[in-house]
Structure 1
Amino acid sequence: MVSRLKVNFNKSHVYGIGGECNVVREWSIPLGCEPPSLPFTYLGVPVGENMNQKSAWKPIIDKSKAKLLIWKSKTLSSGGQISLAKAVLGNLPTYYLSLFAAPIGVIHELEKIQRQFIWRGTENKSSIHWVSWEKITAPKQVGGMGLGSLRTLNLALLSKWLWKLKVDLSHLWACIITDLHKPGNNFNYCYAKKSLNGVWSNIVKSLTAMEKLGLSTREVMNLTNSNNSWILDFTENGDLSVALLRTRLDWATHPIPDGEFTWSNVVPKKVSCFVRRAKQNRITSLVALNKRGVPVNSITCGACQTNEETTNHLFIGCMMAKEVWSKVEQWCGVPYVIHDCTTVSEVLARDRKGRQWPKEKKIMDAIKYRTIWCLCQARNEWVFRDFRSQPAKIMDNIKSVLFTWIKHIINKRVLD
């Protein structure tokens, strides 16, 4: 009305705060508005809804299920599955998670959708879990796949309100919170009245939840003695960084490293995911399939017909693999790439610490990742198509694709 825009009263509602429903309904009749009812949604935020109940989060859960359909998972690589799961559930519920403390049941339901999508399972049928959920959600710095936990995302987003309250009390919402909860002399830390249950009370409880994860409150925010200002260990340009705080919380929930792994930005993500699985002995070798109850005709390596097909034998111990690695050594002029190595982990670590040039490390990582990937492709060809690739052919395949990976980080345009 103030802006002189025409109001569509048929689509409008009249709500009263602290008033009786009958009185508000009498006000709405002359205006031709629909009778008010709680809860309702305003600017995407549920008003009058008890967000501690799982039913209030049903719209977010339904949207997540619609986005992460199982048939989509079957058309994507492992790297694509993680990227899509992270993009959907890392952004779709962010608005809700930044305002409300999600119940544990909601977190479990959303992560269940993620697990079914990544593991390609269904409600009634599960699939083989080649990588545990803890390793999928763990940070990349500790050997995980970097998906992240929705619980830590929720805590990090809620902490931003605590930070805003401490650094600037001039906002209207900050004045209302201060007046309602009246912290008084206790304002050197975040405070909420026990008699007032609601959104702010749940936000303050997030500090207790972080302490249970092993993150001290003073590590999140602390009061300086010099100018009575608040400092934070997770700031960027003077403001709280949700990403840094979430990473720190993920570290707290995954304290035991699973071994260092280099996530190369030169190679496709699906290749990096596969090499990481190979390092942890989590690929579909014949021995691994037989161990998990999958019927196989034989667990003997199809290339050498002498040893059992394990992960390390497939990529290191097999005569076919050794011949391919020998050609790689001759081609790149780096001897002893797999000399005395018995595991994929040892091959990935070999000759890396001695190289000081960052681009040189990236190139060597790309060569190793590509070789492991091509050995797996050759193995699949002789298992599923009964076609045996010769080492020279595998080497040509390594070179052809490797050039497109690393040509943008080297000066010369031709690889010999």
Structure 2
Amino acid sequence: MSFGGRLTLLKSVLSSLRLYYFSLYSVPPSVLKLLESVRRIFFWGGDLSGTKISWVKWENILLPYESGGLNVGSLKNKNLALLGKWWWRFKTDTTSLWTKLIRSIYGIDSGLRSVDGLAHLPILGTWKDIWCDTSSFKDLFPRLFRLDRNIEVLGNSIVLPKKTLHNNLIPKKVEILVWKTRKKRLRVELDKRGVDLYSTRCPVCDEDLESVEHLFVSCKFSKDVWSRIFKWWNFNLPQNLVFSDLFLGKSTSTMSTLGTKIWQSVEWICAYYIWKNRNMMVFQNKGWIPPVVISEIQVKSFEWVSNRIKDKTIDWHVWLTNPSLICT
């Protein structure tokens, strides 16, 4: 099963099996630790009898997309949120039968005096509503407000919105590969973890030590693939490809928002097929043929992107001859 399949099962099944118990009981830390361990082992492809390398800290995987994670969510936070839901209903829904029963047994506050009165306060937004004096935090602290809204601030001006590694036009397996690549957590980094390898040279070109930067940017075969991709889109290939900017979907001024997302999808799919063909050379002893790789990228990118766009129809002939026209 691919990482994308395991991530889907992780979110839809393993994170939902215990919702009933999580909404009724405060889960002990030892149980939470065990449950998170089961989820972590499953995600990395292991089982209870043996584990595999955890390439990224589990705490980072739990984070939302905007913070560099995979939006899995913490079981502890879910438990607290579900228990908080009952507290909120207890404080606001005073006419329900279960609220009357609890209050008749444990008293009118039922041990919640420390938070008594909060239910009668209006629901305030952290930044835009007025908490004190006559000004909101947004007006009092504009720089912090922009930072909280995931905007990069330089001096007194807003420069550029932060890029998030999430794109719903491609399969999860491609998205996770790019996420691991950006974090430099692929098998090509095994020697840095103390794993004894037969060779650390690039298996594709055999001209340099294998690394994430070399495989996806510097290797002559990868450069050939990127050159053909940029030519296909009628873009000028940068003289010096920069690894850190490779998957950000940088677009031209004529591209629409959707067009930028489509171009980013093609970049990510290109990286996926570079990695896939590298593994085919290593494990199946198959050769690397750039025209075949490009053909696979064109077909799969059209299939994945066109099936995920709801309000736009993509013509195959235009996609094959000049896809940048679709993105204007």
TM range (shorter): 0.7 to 0.9
Question: What corresponds to 1:102 in structure 2?
Answer: 27
Question: What corresponds to 1:21 in structure 2?
Answer: none
Question: What corresponds to 1:341 in structure 2?
Answer: 241
Q: Report matched runs for 1:16-55 at 5 Å.
A: none
Question: What corresponds to 2:167 in structure 1?
Answer: 264
Closer, same or farther: CA 381–124 of 1 in aligned 2, 3 Å:
closer
Distance, in Å, in 1 between the alignment partners of 2:30 and 2:224 is 53
Distance, in Å, in 1 between the alignment partners of 2:249 and 2:39 is 35
Task: Name the SS for the 1:348 alignment partner.
Answer: coil
1:376 pairs, out of 268, 275, 282, with 275
Distance, in Å, in 2 between the alignment partners of 1:173 and 1:232 is 28
Question: What corresponds to 2:78 in structure 1?
Answer: 153
Higher alpha-carbon deviation: 166-175 or 365-374: 166-175
Distance, in Å, in 2 between the alignment partners of 1:325 and 1:370 is 11
1:400 and 2:292 are equivalent in the alignment: no
Task: Name the SS for the 1:169 alignment partner.
Answer: coil
1:306 pairs, out of 201, 204, 207, with 207
- Cα pair 1:222 1:232 within 8 Å, conserved: no
Q: Which amino acid aligns with 1:127?
A: K
Question: What corresponds to 1:282 in structure 2?
Answer: 185
Structure 2 gap ranges (5+): 127-161, 322-328
- Cα pair 1:348 1:368 within 8 Å, conserved: yes
Closer, same or farther: CA 267–350 of 1 in aligned 2, 3 Å:
closer
Question: What corresponds to 1:231 in structure 2?
Answer: 123
Structure 1 gap ranges (5+): 1-75, 184-190, 194-200, 208-216, 225-229, 235-258
Distance, in Å, in 1 between the alignment partners of 2:58 and 2:212 is 21
Closer, same or farther: CA 80–175 of 1 in aligned 2, 3 Å:
same
Q: Which amino acid aligns with 1:375?
A: I
Q: Which amino acid aligns with 2:123?
A: I
- Cα pair 1:80 1:270 within 8 Å, conserved: yes
Distance, in Å, in 2 between the alignment partners of 1:319 and 1:407 is 31
Distance, in Å, in 2 between the alignment partners of 1:178 and 1:80 is 47
Deviation at 1:352, TM superposition (A): 4.3
Give CA-to-partner distance per residue, 1:140-174, whole Å, 9 cap, x none: 12110111110000011111112112222001221
Distance, in Å, in 2 between the alignment partners of 1:355 and 1:83 is 35
Query: Pairwise CA RMSD of aligned residues?
Result: 2.7
Q: Which amino acid aligns with 2:288?
A: S
Question: What corresponds to 1:413 in structure 2?
Answer: 315
Question: What corresponds to 1:87 in structure 2?
Answer: 12
Question: What corresponds to 1:120 in structure 2?
Answer: 45
- Cα pair 1:223 1:231 within 8 Å, conserved: no
Deviation at 1:406, TM superposition (A): 2.1
Closer, same or farther: CA 174–265 of 1 in aligned 2, 3 Å:
same
1:316 and 2:199 are equivalent in the alignment: no
Give CA-to-partner distance per residue, 1:11-40, whole Å, 9 cap, x none: xxxxxxxxxxxxxxxxxxxxxxxxxxxxxx
Deviation at 1:124, TM superposition (A): 5.2
Closer, same or farther: CA 159–351 of 1 in aligned 2, 3 Å:
same
Closer, same or farther: CA 389–87 of 1 in aligned 2, 3 Å:
same
Question: What corresponds to 1:248 in structure 2?
Answer: none
Q: Higher relative contact order by CA 8 Å / sep ≥ 6: 1 or 2?
A: 2
Question: What corresponds to 1:390 in structure 2?
Answer: 289
Question: What corresponds to 1:8 in structure 2?
Answer: none
- Cα pair 2:3 2:43 within 8 Å, conserved: yes
Closer, same or farther: CA 319–364 of 1 in aligned 2, 3 Å:
same
Q: Which amino acid aligns with 2:32?
A: I
Q: Which amino acid aligns with 1:139?
A: P
- Cα pair 2:103 2:110 within 8 Å, conserved: no
Distance, in Å, in 1 between the alignment partners of 2:251 and 2:315 is 24
Q: Report matched runs for 1:123-202 at 5 Å.
A: 123=48, 125-183=50-108, 191-193=109-111
TM-score of the superposed pair, with normalisation by structure 1? 0.62
Distance, in Å, in 1 between the alignment partners of 2:210 and 2:58 is 26
Closer, same or farther: CA 412–146 of 1 in aligned 2, 3 Å:
closer
